[in-house]
Each structure stands twice: as structure tokens, then as C-alpha cells.
Structure 1
Amino acid sequence: MAETLLDIAEVADRCGLAPSALRFYEKKGLIAPAGRNGLRRTYRPDVLDRLALISCARSAGFTVAEIARFLVATPGDTELRARMAVKARELEDDIARLTRMRDGLRHAAACDHERLVECPDFMRTFASPAQPVPR
């Protein structure tokens, strides 16, 4: 049975990227087409998983060059793995900051203080862990 291939337009539609972005990723070596159907590139379905990984890495702040290295990394790539560990710590900080923001917004949606900035519970959500807001 022949493998089902996806046309570039279908891949673009399914992953929310422009076909030009797919061609760019191909040029940078992040993805590879399976062939062509006429003039149109075709891809194996697993390209969608690869594109999801690329999108996630881009959202995390990795450059295209870093992603290209990441996709071919081996256990011996110590410099890249060190960069990944730094990025993981940065993401932990971002997650903590965004969690505080989410919690503050949830509180603000129900808070009955005249001014939110006078609400100690609201302000506590934004306090630096090193300098907590007094109760």
C-alpha cells in the first residue's frame, strides 16, 4: 500500500504556517519534502509532528539555527545540551512569572477592593519571591 503524502497547502493549513514558511524551514534543513506532485511539494504525515516541535521550540525562544542543531543532536553535543539546560531554567522562570500573572488576573476578576493596587492579595501575586508583600 502506498504511503499517503500531504500536499504543501494541506501541511500549511494543518499546522497554521504559510507555504513560504515551510519552504524556508526546508531550505534551513529543518524539514524535507517526500517528493513532488507536479510542481507542488509533498510531505510525509510525520512532518506535522516535526513542525509542532519546531513551533514549540520557536515559542520557547530557540533560533532556527539552534533548532537545526537540536534536531540532529547526539549525546556528545555538550555545548548544545548546556544551552538546553539554560533555556529550561529560563522557561521555568517564565512559567513562574506567567503563573503569578494568571493568579493575579483570576483574583482581580473577583476582587471587591475599590482599587486593585490596594488589595494585598492582588499585589502579593506580583511580589518578588525575595521581597514578599507584607500582610
Structure 2
Amino acid sequence: MDDLDIGEVARRASVPASTLRFYEEKGLIASIGRRGLRRVFDAGVLERLALITLGRSAGFALDEIASMLSAGAQPRIDRRRLLAKADELDHRIRELAAMRDGLRHAAACRAPSHMECPTFRRILRAAIAGTLGAPEKKARLRRG
């Protein structure tokens, strides 16, 4: 496969050239030279950018991603770190599901005022306590 200049990489990866320059500064990707004033990358950079995008989508910080993407061709992905991130995502999913359920309840609640609704008041208390997505608290919210 041919080498790609920064404009082609930006187009194919759907990221601005400024992001590519930033990633190069951070050591996430490396250009292999220049064609005139434009950086040139090996076509393998597209796979590396896909890994970065996947990592960012999963909530990894760029520094975490950089530590997994060694200078060599093969990434060093820490499976324990992946499991920890999956656990974080599970927690966030529970929080978001509880928030969704609370919003649906608030939208359909027949109480004259939301502040008169016992379920809505429990949702408020859970939000204050930071336990909105906790499974045991969510079960209590549903019962009320």
C-alpha cells in the first residue's frame, strides 16, 4: 500500500489534520517523512488511528492509549485495564439507565407536582447521595 500524506490520512480517518499533528506530538502516531511541506504516514497509521478512536470511545485517556500503543507495530493492550474500563462502563450504564427511568417517570407522573411524587423525591435523594445508578437503590426506586 502507498504512503499517505496528512491530508489523505485526515480524510480517510475522518479527523482534522490538527488532530493528527497533536497525536504525533503525544507519540500516538509517527510520520515517516515529508512530501514537500506535508507529513507522510505509512498506511498502517489508519489502523492505529482506529485503535485510538476505539480507545477514546471507550473512555480511555490519550495517555492511557499511548501506553498501550508502543512504538513497535503491535499494541500492548493490558487486559486488566480493559476489564476495569468495562466495569466503569457497566457502572455508567446503570447510572444512565436510572436517569432514563427517572425522566420517564417524571414525564408520566400523575402527581399534581413532581415534588409531591414519592418516587420522584426518592430519585432526588438518590441523586444527592450519588447512588442513582446503584442496583440496590434502583430496586428501591422502582418499588416506591
User: Under TM normalisation by the shorter chain, which class is it?
Assistant: 0.5 to 0.7
* Structure 1 pair 123–45 and aligned structure 2 pair: CA distance change class (3 A): farther
Which residue of structure 2 lines up, in the alignment, with residue 40 of structure 1?
Answer: 38
Is residue 73 of structure 1 aligned with residue 103 of structure 2? no
Aligned mates of 1:55, 1:3 — CA distance in 2: 23
Q: Tell me which of 111, 132, 135 is aligned to 1:129.
A: 135
* Unaligned residue ranges in structure 2 (runs of 5+): 70-74, 124-131
Which residue of structure 1 lines up, in the alignment, with residue 99 of structure 2?
Answer: 101
Query: Residue 30 of structure 1: SS of its match in structure 2?
Result: coil
Q: Percent identity?
A: 47
* Higher share in helix: 2
Aligned mates of 1:18, 1:25 — CA distance in 2: 11
TM-score if structure 2 supplies the norm length?
A: 0.61
Aligned mates of 1:14, 1:119 — CA distance in 2: 53
* Structure 1 pair 46–127 and aligned structure 2 pair: CA distance change class (3 A): closer
Q: CA deviation at 1:93?
A: 0.4
On the 8 A contact 2:6/2:40 being kept in 1, the answer is yes
Q: CA deviation at 1:31?
A: 1.6
Q: CA deviation at 1:120?
A: 3.3
Figure out how many residues of one structure are paired with residues of the other and give that number: 128
Which residue of structure 1 lines up, in the alignment, with residue 26 of structure 2?
Answer: 28
* Unaligned residue ranges in structure 1 (runs of 5+): 75-79
* Structure 1 pair 108–73 and aligned structure 2 pair: CA distance change class (3 A): same
Aligned mates of 2:41, 2:67 — CA distance in 1: 21
Aligned mates of 1:53, 1:119 — CA distance in 2: 46
Query: Residue 32 of structure 1: SS of its match in structure 2?
Result: coil
